[in-house]
Amino acid sequence: MLAGLAALCLTGCGSQIEFTWAMERVPNNLDPQLAWESPELIAVTNLYSGLFRLNDEGEPVSDCAESYTVSGDGLTYTFTLKEGLAYTQNRGGEAEYELTAADFVFGLRRVFRPETGSPYTSTYAAIKNSAEVLSGAMDETALGVSAPDARTVVIQLDQPDPQLLYKLALPGAMPCNEEFFESTEGSYGLTRAATMGNGSFYVYNWNDNGLFLRRPANGDAVTALRLVINATGETAESSGSSSAASGVTLWGEALVKEGGATAALSETLSADGLDSIPYTATTWVLLFNCGDETLAQPLIREALTVSARSAAVELPEGFAAADGLIPPAVTVQGENYRDAAGSIQPAFGSAADLCRQGLEALGLSRFENVTLLAPEGSSYLQLAQGVNQQWQKELGAFSAYFPVKQLPLDELNARVASGDYQIALVPLSLSSDSAAQLLLQAAQLADWNDIGWQNQLEALFADGTHTAGDVAALERSLLESACAAPLWFQTKALLVQPGVEGLVFRPFGPVLDLTNATIAQ
């Protein structure tokens, strides 16, 4: 039944051409200056239009901006808005509020209001006086954004930011009408009535089952975007699908083929009858808890890292040896980071010698009471056992064969986040195109507290002008500490029903932009 319904929706439910995306939760806030996780990112990306929008290559292209100029020193950007820009009220009604350059100014000012709590403060840190405004040392009117007239936005920087246009396509830079914002009395983006976007879609309905966006019909363009709770595992009484009868919630290929979604993420890289968009944004890492009495010894971590990297493991589909911590999907200043940085895998020396020296430094001759945690699943058990067997082969004289305990991924992540582990094999995935995010995440999860390194990381990414070489130096320092050993990159895919064109997919989040999407009728 679900499959038949989906087929009907692909050709139009009533007058609608629907695209359905299934999620574990409904978006809880449609304030673009706050949107950071996938449900909210997808929603605001389709509800709002910024000065720029990212195309299918991840490059910024003009959206609300008709043209722009940059001063010779790279510190002043002047944007001219297109004519006829407007907001759309919920249910598609014409908004009474005018969209002008002042709204882009107010949107960025909100980012630096301390009470906003926006996650985008570091993204736009190069804007003039941003640090002083955020700290309260200066009034928000001192922020380097202004609107000389209704169609002109001027952004001044403290230092050049070659990625500014890219950043202006992110949710933090979306326009916000100050009068409308104040009228919501603190509920901006929390209800349908308190949301006013300027994108091609508008809020049609929003409830516990999902967020439903619509736009006027235009040829084969998608007119209804459904962000819904995955209901494929409902009881048989409420659904006729085979998955419902078994109570199993479907994801990936099965979810799309059963009709629960138009597209879905999958660890299967291809599927008959579906289109595929592959991406590599996950790194499988051995994390060593530096707070553990034994693993606090760097030589022991180095020994286990060297040995694990040499393990001959039969890899599942989509897995490949990692040449660093940061996966290939990440870019720095518009270029692929992994291509620019190359391989960063420290050479520590002989695993056996390192292990002997490390244990001797602790007054030990062998390992005691060490457990390796891994996610549930036969493929993941095979990976963990392959590493364990290599440890036994090289370091067996030191009793380096550890019990493997498999846990549901959510439980494993919780154990690691709380520090309740010794060694853990985990997948680290990015929610944004930020090398800093993954570096900091790995250091924190491993309880590696190098204050100097953390300060360098914070300072480097605060100004937005870092290079691939700068990032590589920090990645190298982290891996030389042996608190984290990247073993494999994992490529996954977005599987899509055939006939969908113009969909822009970004793996970080993930984010789907249906602005230019069509489904052939």
Each residue's pLDDT tens digit, 120-164:
998 899 999 999 999 999 999 999 999 999 999 999 999 998 889
At 254, list the tokens: 């099965």
Q: CB–CB of 482/287 below 8 Å?
A: no
Alpha-helical runs (H) found in 178-332: 178-183, 242-246, 252-258, 298-309
Question: How many H helices and E strands in the chain?
Answer: 16, 23
* Cα(214)–Cα(201) distance, integer angstroms: 5
pLDDT at 261 over 50: yes
What integer pLDDT is reported at residue 436 of this predicted model? 86
Tell me, what's the pLDDT at 244?
Answer: 44
Average pLDDT over residues 180-189: 97
Q: Predicted confidence band at 12 (pLDDT cuts at 50, 70, 90)?
A: very low
For residue 235, name the pLDDT band (cuts at 50, 70, 90): very low
CATH architecture of 31-190: Alpha-Beta Complex (3.90)
| pLDDT for the residue numbered 14 | 56
DSSP string, 114-168: TTT--TTTTTTTTBTTHHHHHHTSS-GGGSSEEEEETTEEEEEBSS--TTHHHHT
Contact 513, 503 (CB under 8 A): yes
Q: Coil, strand, or helix at residue 35?
A: coil
pLDDT for 243: 45
Amino acid making up residue 51:
L
The predicted-structure confidence for 408-464, as pLDDT tens digits, reads as follows 999 999 999 999 999 999 999 987 778 888 999 999 999 999 999 999 998 877 766
Q: Give every strand in the sheet of 76-81, ordered side by side.
A: 65-70, 76-81, 152-156, 145-149
DSSP-assigned letter for residue 95: P
Distance CA 127, CA 122 (A): 10
Pairing mode, if any, of strands 18-23 and 224-229?
Answer: parallel
Domain ranges of the chain: 1-26+208-274+497-521, 31-190, 280-492
Asked if residue 281 has pLDDT above 50, the reply is: yes
Q: Which CATH architecture has domain 280-492?
A: Roll (3.10)
Q: For 497-516, write each residue's pLDDT tens digit.
A: 999 999 999 998 899 999 99
How far is CA 172 from each of CA 29, 246, 314, 345, 490, rounded to the nearest angstrom? 14, 42, 43, 35, 30
pLDDT digits (tens, 9 = 90+) for 39-78: 999 999 999 999 999 999 889 999 999 999 999 999 999 9
pLDDT tens digits, one per residue of 351-393: 999 999 999 999 999 999 999 999 999 999 999 999 999 999 9
pLDDT exceeds cutoff 50 at 470: yes
Given a cut of 80, whether residue 9 has pLDDT beyond it is: no
